[in-house]
C-alpha cells in the first residue's frame, strides 16, 4: 500500500513537472504564433487611406513574407546551437531577438524599421521552434508525449488569436508593445527549469542528466535510472552500427539511412501541408476571407473566428492524441479540409452571384480551418519532435524548419500574384488538390508513433521497409530484436 501511495505521488509530481516545462515552451510557441499572425490585421491598418504609414500592395507583401525569409536562417542555426549548448540554453538565447524586434516595431515610423523589427521576431521563430519541440519530445513520457508535443500547436494558435484580438482593439504599435511581454515571460521561466536529460547524457554530464530526469519524473529516482539506462543502450547501439560500417559512406549523420528516411517522410508531408494553404490563411486571413466571400464578411470577425476555431480544435486534438493515433487524425483531417476547399472552389466558380447563399463561402472556409487544425496543422510539430533519431535530432529539426520557412516565404510572397492569376476559385482548388495529395502521402508513408518511445521510433526507421504503411513500429522492433538474438 505504501509503495502504491508513493507511486501515485511520483506520478502526480511528474505530470506537474512536465506541465511546468511545457508551459514555458508554450509561451515560446505562442510568441511565434503572434509573430506569424501579426501581418494579417496589420496590413489592413497600414494600407487604409488614413494610415500613418501608407503602404502599397508590394510593400505589404514584403511585410508579410519577410518573416519567412529570415526564419530559415534561425532554423539552420538552431540545430548546431542546441547540439553544442543544449535545448534550454538555445531557447533562452533565441528569445532576445524577439524582445528587440517587438520594441523596434513599437517604435517604427518607417517601413525600414518595421521590416527590421519583423526580421528580429522572425529570427526568434526560427531559433526557438526546433529546440522547443525537441525539448518537449525528449522530456515527456511516451504516454504523455502526444499531448505535450501537440500542445505547442494550440499555443501557436492562441498566439494568432491573441494578435488578431489585440489588432482589432489597439493601434498596431501598441499591439507590438503588449506582445513583447510574452517572450519576456518565457525568458524568465526557463531560468528555473532543467535541461534535456538526453542531451546531458550525450554530453557525458550523467549526474546532471540523472538530476534533470528525476525532477521530470516527480522524484522517482528508480524510474529515472531505468530511462537513462535505455538512453545509454540506444547510444551504444548507434555507435556499434557506425563502427560496423553502416554509415561509412556518410560524412554527416543527416545522410544516414534512418535519418534520410525520417527526413523524407517529414519534409514531403510538410510540402503538401504548406501548399494546402495551412499558413497562407494565417498570414493573409483577412485578404483570403474577403476575396472568397466577395466582401460579405467582416474582416475582423471572421479572422478572429477562424483563429478561435483553430484554438478550440487544436486543444481538443491534444486530448484526442492521448487515445487516437497520429495516422487516423491526419488522414481524417485531410479528407475534411480537402473536401471543404474543393467544394468552395467549385462554388466560387459556378455560383458566385447567389446573394441568398452568400454565407456559404465563409462557412466552407471555417470548415476547412476546423478540419485542417486538428490534423494537418498539428502533425508537423509532432513529426519534428518524434521522428528524428537522437544523434541528429538537432540538425534534422533545424533543416526541416528551415525548409518549411523557405516554402512559406515563396507562398506568402507570391500570394498577391496567385490571387490575381488563379482567382479565389483557383486558389482553393490548389489548396484542395494539395490537401488530397498530402492525405494520400500520409496514408502510404506516415508511421504510427503513438505510445512508442523515441528509441523504438528510431529502431523503426532503421528497419528494412520503405513502403512503411505495411509495417508498424512493433513489427520493426521485433525484427530488430530477432536479428540481435541470432548467433
Q: Write out the DSSP string of 161-183.
A: HHHHHHHHHS-HHHHHHHHTHHH
Share of the chain above pLDDT 70, in %: 83
Q: Residue 443: which residues within 8 A CB-CB, separation 6 or more?
A: 327, 331, 469
Residue 2 pLDDT more than 60? no
How far is residue 448's CA from residue 471's CA, in Å, rounded to a whole number?
10
Return the half-sphere exposure (C-beta side, CA atoms, 13 A cut-off) of residue 456. Answer: 15
Residue 368 pLDDT more than 90? no
How far is residue 94's CA from residue 221's CA, in Å, rounded to a whole number?
32
3-state secondary structure of 252: coil
What pLDDT is stored for residue 476 in this prediction? 45
Instruction: Name the strand (E) or helix (H) holding 365.
Output: helix 360-372
What pLDDT is stored for residue 48 in this prediction? 79
The total of other beta-carbon atoms located within 10 Å of residue 38's CB is: 29
Share of the chain above pLDDT 90, in %: 21
Instruction: Name the strand (E) or helix (H) holding 93.
Output: helix 87-107
Q: In 217-325, which ranges are continuous DSSP H helix?
A: 221-243, 257-275, 280-283, 285-293, 299-320
Residue 483 pLDDT more than 50? no
Where do the domains of the chain lie, and which CATH numbers do they carry?
Answer: 8-193+258-451 (1.20.1250.20), 452-487 (no CATH)
The C-alpha R_g of the chain, in whole angstroms, comes to 23
What pLDDT is stored for residue 100 in this prediction? 96
How far is residue 196's CA from residue 87's CA, in Å, rounded to a whole number?
7
The total of other beta-carbon atoms located within 10 Å of residue 445's CB is: 16
Mean pLDDT across 68-88 = 87
Query: Do you know the residue count of the chain?
Result: 487
Q: How confident is the model at residue 285 (pLDDT cuts 50, 70, 90)?
A: low
pLDDT digits (tens, 9 = 90+) for 309-335: 778 888 888 888 778 888 898 999 999
Instruction: Name the strand (E) or helix (H) holding 31.
Output: helix 2-46
Q: How confident is the model at residue 121 (pLDDT cuts 50, 70, 90)?
A: very high
Mean pLDDT across 66-79 = 85
How far is residue 104's CA from residue 113's CA, in Å, rounded to a whole number?
7
Q: How confident is the model at residue 242 (pLDDT cuts 50, 70, 90)?
A: low
Tell which phi-psi region holds residue 54, choosing left (phi > 0), alpha (psi between -120 and 50) or beta: beta
Going from the C-alpha of 2 to that of each of 9, 12, 214, 220, 382, the distances in angstroms are 11, 16, 20, 14, 37
Q: Are 435 and 276 in contact, with CB atoms under 8 Å apart?
A: yes
Residue 432 pLDDT more than 90? yes
Q: Are 21 and 134 in contact, with CB atoms under 8 Å apart?
A: no
Q: Are 291 and 152 in contact, with CB atoms under 8 Å apart?
A: no
Q: How confident is the model at residue 480 (pLDDT cuts 50, 70, 90)?
A: very low
Mean residue pLDDT of the chain comes to 80
How far is residue 100's CA from residue 183's CA, in Å, rounded to a whole number?
10
Q: Which comes out higher in pLDDT, residue 403 or 116?
A: 116
What pLDDT is stored for residue 481 in this prediction? 44
What pLDDT is stored for residue 484 in this prediction? 38
Mean pLDDT across 351-370 = 72
How far is residue 385's CA from residue 442's CA, in Å, rounded to a whole number?
17
Residue 357 pLDDT more than 60? yes
How far is residue 390's CA from residue 474's CA, in Å, rounded to a whole number?
19
Residue 464 pLDDT more than 50? yes
What pLDDT is stored for residue 116 in this prediction? 94
The total of other beta-carbon atoms located within 10 Å of residue 19's CB is: 13
Q: Which comes out higher in pLDDT, residue 117 or 5?
A: 117
How far is residue 132's CA from residue 125's CA, in Å, rounded to a whole number?
10
Lowest mean pLDDT among 135-139, 149-153, 176-180, 478-482: 478-482
Amino acid at each position: 500500500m505504501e509503495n502504491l501511495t508513493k507511486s501515485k505521488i511520483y506520478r502526480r509530481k511528474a505530470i506537474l513537472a512536465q506541465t511546468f516545462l511545457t508551459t514555458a515552451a508554450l509561451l515560446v510557441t505562442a510568441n511565434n504564433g503572434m509573430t506569424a499572425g501579426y501581418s494579417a490585421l496589420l496590413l489592413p491598418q497600414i494600407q487604409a487611406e488614413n494610415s500613418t504609414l501608407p503602404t502599397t500592395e508590394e510593400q505589404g507583401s514584403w511585410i508579410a513574407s519577410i518573416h519567412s525569409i529570415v526564419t530559415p536562417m534561425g532554423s539552420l542555426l538552431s540545430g548546431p546551437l542546441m547540439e553544442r549548448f543544449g535545448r534550454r540554453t538555445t531557447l533562452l538565447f533565441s528569445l532576445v531577438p524577439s524582445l528587440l524586434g517587438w520594441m523596434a516595431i513599437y517604435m517604427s515610423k518607417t517601413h525600414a524599421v518595421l521590416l527590421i523589427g519583423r526580421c528580429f521576431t522572425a529570427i526568434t521563430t526560427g531559433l526557438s521552434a526546433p529546440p522547443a519541440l525537441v525539448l518537449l519530445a525528449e522530456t515527456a513520457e511516451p504516454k504523455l508525449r502526444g499531448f505535450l508535443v501537440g500542445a505547442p500547436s494550440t499555443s501557436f494558435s492562441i498566439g494568432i488569436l491573441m494578435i488578431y484580438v489585440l489588432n482589432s482593439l489597439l493601434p498596431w504599435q501598441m499591439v507590438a508593445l503588449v506582445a513583447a511581454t510574452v517572450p519576456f515571460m518565457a525568458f524568465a521561466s526557463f531560468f528555473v527549469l532543467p535541461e534535456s536529460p538526453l542531451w546531458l547524457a550525450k554530453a557525458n554530464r550523467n549526474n546532471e542528466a540523472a538530476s534533470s530526469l528525476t525532477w521530470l519524473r516527480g522524484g522517482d529516482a528508480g524510474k529515472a535510472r531505468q530511462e537513462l539506462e535505455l538512453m545509454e543502450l540506444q547510444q551504444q547501439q548507434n555507435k556499434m552500427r557506425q563502427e560496423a560500417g553502416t554509415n561509412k559512406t556518410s560524412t554527416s549523420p543527416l545522410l544516414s539511412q534512418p535519418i534520410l528516411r525520417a527526413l523524407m517522410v517529414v519534409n514531403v508531408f510538410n510540402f503538401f501541408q504548406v501548399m494546402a494553404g495551412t499558413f497562407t490563411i494565417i498570414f493573409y486571413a483577412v485578404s483570403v476571407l474577403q476575396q472568397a466571400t466577395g466582401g460579405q464578411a467582416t474582416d475582423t470577425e471572421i479572422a478572429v473566428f477562424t483563429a478561435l476555431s483553430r484554438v478550440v480544435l487544436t486543444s481538443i486534438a491534444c486530448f484526442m492524441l492521448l487515445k487516437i493515433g497520429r495516422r487516423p487524425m491526419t488522414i481524417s483531417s485531410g479528407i475534411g479540409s480537402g473536401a471543404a476547399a474543393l467544394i468552395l472552389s467549385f462554388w466560387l466558380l459556378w455560383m458566385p452571384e447567389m446573394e441568398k447563399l452568400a454565407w456559404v463561402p465563409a462557412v466552407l472556409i471555417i470548415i476547412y480551418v476546423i478540419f485542417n487544425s486538428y490534423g494537418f496543422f498539428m502533425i508537423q510539430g509532432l513529426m519534428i519532435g518524434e521522428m528524428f533519431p537522437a544523434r541528429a535530432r538537432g540538425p534534422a529539426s533545424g533543416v526541416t524548419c528551415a525548409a518549411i520557412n523557405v516554402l512559406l516565404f515563396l507562398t506568402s510572397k507570391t500570394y498577391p500574384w496567385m490571387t490575381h492569376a488563379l482567382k479565389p476559385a483557383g486558389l482553393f482548388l490548389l489548396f484542395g488538390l494539395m490537401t488530397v495529395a498530402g492525405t494520400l502521402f500520409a496514408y502510404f508513408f506516415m508511421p504510427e508513433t503513438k505510445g512508442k518511445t523515441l528509441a523504438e521510433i528510431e529502431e523503426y526507421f532503421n528497419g528494412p521497409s520503405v513502403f512503411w504503411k505495411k509495417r508498424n513500429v512493433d513489427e520493426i522492433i521485433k525484427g530488430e530484436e530477432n536479428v540481435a538474438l541470432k548467433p
